[in-house]
Amino acid sequence: MRIAYILFLLPFYVLAGSIEPKITPKKVTLYLEKAQIHATSNFHLKAGRTQVVFKQISSEVDPASIQVKGLGKLNLHSVSFQTNYIENKDISTPLKNFQQQLDKLNREKAVLEFEKDGLEKELSLLEANKHVNNEKQNLSVNQLEAYTVFYRNKTTSVKTKQYDLKIALEQLSKNIQNLKKQISTAKADAEKPTGEIILELEAPNAQTATLEISYVVNNAGWYPSYEIKSENLNSNLQFDYKANVYQATGQDWETVKITLSTGNPNLSNQKPEVKPHYLNFVRYNYSKPNYKSQPKYRYNPGVDFVRGKVTDKSGMPLPGVNVIIQNTRVGTQTDFDGNYSLEIPNGRKLSFSSVGFDTKVVPIYSSQINVSLSSGAALEEVVVSALADSRYKEDAEYIRQPEVKKDIALSQVLFEISKPYTITSSSETQIINIDQFEIPAKYQHFSAPLVNPEVYLTASVEDYEQYDMLPGDANIYFDGSYAGKVFLDPRLAESKLQLSLGVDPSIIVERTRVNNKKDKSFFGNTLKVNRNYTLKINNQKNRPINLKLIDRIPVSQNDAISIEDIDYGQAELNKDTGILTWELKIGALEQTDKKFSYQVNYPKGKTINLD
């Protein structure tokens, strides 16, 4: 009987009970698309086995990423994660604060409406008493003038107050509506499920435990942006490198230390395996991916409006291209010049499609997205749709970007932010300063009048790699004025990083075609077409400038078409592309011109895309 009694009590000893200690995030490592939370918890344990439940954490936790440190002599029997759909997030404190603010605004609005009502009655009284009964009152001219001045001044004063009250009430109404939206958002956030991490711990004796729990969550990350300033053409470029942090995990991070990472968390606990590298002959129709011209962009949640230009591979604009937010009916079409603009209410990707061209899908990564469509079917430009067989999708990804993933892993950079931050779970982004630095720059004007008549001021910088810059939008300021926004992508730079500082209206370049009677002539069955162009340059500045001027001569892709009698003066010609480049120094207030010409020969009766 004694032995049976001991066995009966054994389960009560094994499971001493269940506790729900508080867990507090202390440090957050933000990746480009996820975040790793490092939280601590201090609690008392009885001897035996205890179930420790950490509640009110994010429901976005990846269970495979949970790690526990500081166990000491404690035995950890199991770790699990579950979603709690019953106990919602506690928002009593912020909701109470919101309600107090709303009550205060409603009282202010009521007081102003009382004052408005009083002014209306005062104005009605003035209107009712402004008529003077000359039969009962014998008024002098001076008395009549005094009455007139009184009513005019009083009416003006009342109506001015009414106008001021109208403006104040409109602003108060906006503030009240915004606060109601905040309350509605907070209540909706509270209805979301919460997460729970459950540990089965066994303690040899009663003790106080201090554990560090780390886990990876989705719906969080950061993306870079820049402010680039230049005072004049002799100054360095000043860079403000910023991180736009977002998190909608359902858990607020209060006064946490932030570390920004340019990589992604390693969620695998399996050791890596090196597989054999087999060599074989490459098929001749295989097109090797161009990694430099095919950078991988990430979705930017801060973009709510996109504009850009769609061209073919030769750089010519494509009108009528369908630009659609993927998986929605929201979209637009490009205009005659290939330009488009589109508001982004939701969605992560844009789809570009047109008859005769391959559809292209790109992440919404910037407010300026220019796209080049191909009429071919090169391997690196094929977009794998959601309907494709998953085997082919995996193979395509393996072929397209085996080295990119490796490069990202090897070049991961961490930015330690010294100041602690509080980042609440919401749809808003919070800006954190990463670094400030100056880089010497060389300034040059740039013009390609064939494509755009404007002249742009550009800056090129060297030795930019040491600052670990990522692709992102950059606000450009020159000479104390905002010059516009550009997308900065250091991955596309080679020895120098090129930046556009906006249009310079004081430099004018005009491209004109010179017509003459011998533009077209026949020689047997061959049609000869002459083209003559003049590029007029006008520097209206009181100082000399350096100008890079770009144009082109057509390149034949058919043996029946030939280009002869090419004359381009002192320009540099790339024979493979036909691109002409002039590196010019234009004096102060100087006007000059550059000319080039060529002759195209092709069979009579054929049509070519000469213009």
Give the least confident one: 15-29, 202-216, 270-284. 270-284
pLDDT in tens, 99-128: 888 888 888 888 888 888 888 888 887 777
In SS3 terms, 425-476 reads as CCCCEEEEEEEEEEECEEEEEEEECCCEEEEEEEEEECCCHHHCCCCEEEEE
Mean pLDDT, rounded, for 395-406: 32
For residue 517, what pLDDT is reported?
56
For residue 180, what pLDDT is reported?
82
The proportion of the chain whose per-residue pLDDT surpasses 90, expressed as a percent, equals 42
For residue 281, what pLDDT is reported?
56
Distance separating alpha carbons of residues 574 and 246, to the nearest angstrom: 46
Please give the residue that has the higher pLDDT: either 610 or 31. Answer: 31
pLDDT in tens, 222-280: 999 999 999 988 899 999 999 999 998 988 899 999 999 988 776 555 666 777 867 66
Please give the residue that has the higher pLDDT: either 430 or 495. Answer: 430
What one-character DSSP code corresponds to residue 385? P
CA distances from 318 to 321, 544, 599 (A): 7, 37, 27
Q: How confident is the model at residue 483 (pLDDT cuts 50, 70, 90)?
A: confident
106: left (phi over 0), alpha (psi -120 to 50) or beta: alpha
Contact indicator for 46, 18 with CB cutoff of 8 Å: no
Mean pLDDT, rounded, for 131-137: 52
Contact indicator for 280, 293 with CB cutoff of 8 Å: no
- pTM exceeds 0.85: no
pLDDT of 6 higher than 70:
no
Question: Which two three-digit tokens encode residue 33?
Answer: 């698309």
pLDDT of 391 higher than 80:
no
Please give the residue that has the higher pLDDT: either 285 or 373. Answer: 373
Contact indicator for 201, 52 with CB cutoff of 8 Å: yes
Mean pLDDT, rounded, for 172-198: 81
Q: How confident is the model at residue 340 (pLDDT cuts 50, 70, 90)?
A: very high
pLDDT in tens, 547-595: 999 999 999 888 889 999 899 999 999 998 899 999 999 999 999 999 9
pLDDT of 136 higher than 60:
no
pLDDT of 404 higher than 80:
no
Mean pLDDT, rounded, for 412-440: 90
For residue 345, what pLDDT is reported?
84
For residue 190, what pLDDT is reported?
66
What single string gives the DSSP state of each residue in 545-584?
EEEEEEEE-----STT-EEEEEE-TT-EE-TTT-EEEEEE
For residue 367, what pLDDT is reported?
87
pLDDT of 384 higher than 50:
no
What one-character DSSP code corresponds to residue 478? E
E strands, 231-379, where? 237-247, 253-261, 305-312, 322-325, 331-333, 339-343, 349-353, 360-363, 371-373
For residue 605, what pLDDT is reported?
82
pLDDT in tens, 47-106: 999 999 999 899 899 998 999 999 999 999 999 999 888 776 655 566 778 888 888 888
